[in-house]
Amino acid sequence: MDVLSDVIAIMRTGHPRSARVQWHAPWGQRFPAALGSAGFQVILQGTCWLTPPAGGAPITLSAGDIVFFPHGHGYGLADSPATPLAEPDCDPLEEAELYASASIGQPLHGTPTMTLCGGYQLDPTRAHPLLDDLPDMVHLPARLGHRAELRAAVDLLGSELDHPRLGTDTIVPALLDMLLLYILRAWFDEQPEQGTVTGWAAALADPAISAALHAIHRDPAHHWTVQTLAAHARLSRAAFSKRFTAMIGQPPLTYLTWWRMTTAARLLHESDAPLSEVAAHIGYTSEFAFANAFKREYGTAPGRYRRHNQAGARNEEQNSA
């Protein structure tokens, strides 16, 4: 898998949710912070005003605008900056396990504002620095002829919410994941020339470092060395190590070990594969060496980590039933 797909697959947990909402003026809604989550709003029709997560002056949003909140910070939407924001007595996303439609306010006159919102649960124990680099809010304004694939995903998702049919329960989560990837891709693609700027936006735009990262993510079990990764990057060993560390914030083999342990944690949480199989999957021929490396990263043995997390998952399922 490529880096971005891997990051989302590792961090995403549970089922994404979505709702299509008609807002009839006057209306104002506060969306509270939800740590361990990410969400988006797409303006399908009309206009509205956004109160950003960090406060400050409201921002006007128009049809086609997309706003993404990668860190689960709270924000507000309203028909006018003068309209008070009501505390939510119900959250459309909380009302449905997968998808919902709602109409809020009295449709007395005027054209309503229509939004498409979605929410994702993220596992904070598997947080990836790529998402940490994102701002509190990503605003992708509508521009004619731009991001056709993103607009197509929005249209498909809206159609499924409007007219649920056979297969919708499988299609909607897939479209929500697709939409998340398109949003992130659009943000990374639109970053300016990096120059001396560091971080994941710079790393993914750098052909050499990006090639090394994709090699790690495609085959974490490979016996990678700084030299073999440098060969993928087509740089000398010293130049590659220096550039990788400056952009990613840690040396190549430190990142490799961290990613292997993160992948192992997901496998332990989501499967019953023997520890020896998990160890081999991430490049350890010795179960003992794997257990020691895992304990250094997570502070507990792999078997105990698995029992604790699977017990927690069962409790969550019972509580939601």
Q: What is the pLDDT of residues 14-45, one digit of tens each?
A: 788 888 999 999 999 999 988 889 999 999 99
Task: Write down the architecture of domain 3-189 according to CATH.
Answer: Sandwich (2.60)
φ/ψ of 154, rounded to 5, equals: -60, -45
**Which residue has better confidence, 92 or 71?**
71
- In the CATH hierarchy, which fold is given to the domain comprising 200-312? Arc Repressor Mutant, subunit A (1.10.10)
Which residues, other chains included, contact 176 with Cβ-Cβ below 8 Å and sequence gap of 6+? Answer: 16, 17, 18, 118, 120, 157
pLDDT above 60 for 94: no
For residues 226 and 253, is the Cβ–Cβ distance under 8 A?
yes
For residues 115 and 46, is the Cβ–Cβ distance under 8 A?
no
E strand segments, the chain: 12-23, 28-31, 37-45, 47-51, 59-62, 66-69, 75-78, 99-104, 113-122, 138-140
φ/ψ of 38, rounded to 5, equals: -140, 155
Residue 161 to residues 166, 168, 176, 181, Cα–Cα distance (Å):
12, 8, 12, 20
Ranges in the chain annotated CATH 2.60.120.280: 3-189
Task: Look at phi and psi of residue 118 and say left if phi exceeds 0, alpha if psi is from -120 to 50, else beta.
Answer: beta
pLDDT above 70 for 50: yes
Q: Helix, strand or coil for residue 250?
A: coil
**Residue 12's pLDDT band (boundaries 50, 70, 90)?**
confident
Closest CA to 154 of 18, 7, 12: 18
Ranges in the chain annotated CATH 1.10.10.60: 200-312
* Reported pTM: 0.86
Q: What is the pLDDT of residue 100?
A: 76
